[in-house]
Amino acid sequence: MPAHVALVTGASTGIGFETAIALRAAGYAVYAGARRVDKMEPLKRHGITVMLLDVTSEESMVSAVGLVEAAYGRIDVLVNNAGYGSYGSLEEVPMAEGRRQFEVNVMGLARMTQLVIPGMRSRSSGRIINVSSIGGKIYEPLGAWYHGTKFAVEGMSDSLRLELRPHGIDVVVIEPSGTDSEWGTIAGGNLLANSGDGPYKEHAHIVAAALASTSGPGHVLSTPARVVANTIVRAAKARRPRTRYPVGRGAWSVLAMRRILPDRIFDAVFLNLYKRLAG
């Protein structure tokens, strides 16, 4: 029997994929879930169990948690990583897409957490690691839906930390900056599809280019996904984990600026930075 059992959502690429590998290397029994099961085939070579997991489907989530608990009788660590970025002006993004953004990034995270809490509470032990973003503390033009979800994850995690502490369950937030995954490129593409030709097109092209500059190896603010994964493993293993782990190039400096600068000055600095990144 392994010392610990972990379940990772959104494990088909990027942070989730690397986190599954890093946890397995650290001795965890790892279950990796995502909608694109074919993308997770390489994880099997590491001794990781892969499974279909759609965080917008009640049946899929219940089935995934049940599968792990049936095999090991417990889940020690839940890594809520599934999510994506829906960009575009609030005016132009359809409400159905806005709801889907919250369904994946917030409601899916909340439901996965609900499902593992009873088992953790019964053992007075467990750790819930929510992958947020520096986007849960800062904001961007044309990112209202995405940042709304990440701000929600931050607040939800803080409340959850207090209510679960008496039951021996830790709640940790991971706050990555841009990673060398397809995330920024996809988010930028969605942004241009929604707002690239309308009244917000000038801003849209600047923000899309800036998003691309934080995504993929070798880019200005890109951090290897394995760096974030290693931070998640540290949070999983720590005897007394920190409540938050900012990680990645620029994460600490951007968050420090947000704390120090008044809103209007931060607005100006950030817009100027985006113009330079779009360059």
CB 68 within 8 A of CB 5: yes
Question: Angle at Cα 164 formed by Cα 17 and Cα 33, nearest 5°?
Answer: 20
CA separation, residue 203 to residues 87, 142, 152, 187, 271 (Å)? 12, 8, 25, 14, 10
Distance CA(103)–CA(111), nearest Å, equals 10
Helices then strands, each counted (H, E), the chain = 10, 7
- Which CATH number is associated with domain 5-278? 3.40.50.720
Domains of the chain, residue spans: 5-278
Model's pTM, two decimal places? 0.93
Per the prediction, the chain carries an average pLDDT of 92
State the sign of the Cα–Cα–Cα–Cα dihedral 204, 210, 212, 244.
negative
Confidence of residue 200 (pLDDT cuts 50, 70, 90): confident
> Per-residue pLDDT for 277 more than 70?
no
Output the pLDDT for position 258: 92
> Per-residue pLDDT for 214 more than 90?
no
> Per-residue pLDDT for 108 more than 70?
yes
Higher-confidence residue of 278 and 198: namely 198
Specify whether 146 is catalytic: yes
Catalytic residue among 28, 87, 146, 274: 146
DSSP code per residue over 18-62: HHHHHHHHTT-EEEEEES-GGGGGGGGGGT-EEEE--TT-HHHHH
For the ranges 48-52, 214-218, 240-244, 268-272, the lowest mean pLDDT is seen at 214-218
Output the pLDDT for position 14: 92
Q: Minimal CA–CA distance to 258: which of 159, 154, 170?
A: 154
CB atoms closer than 10 angstroms to residue 8: 35
For the ranges 72-81, 135-144, 174-183, the lowest mean pLDDT is seen at 174-183
Percent of the chain with pLDDT over 70: 94
Output the pLDDT for position 265: 94
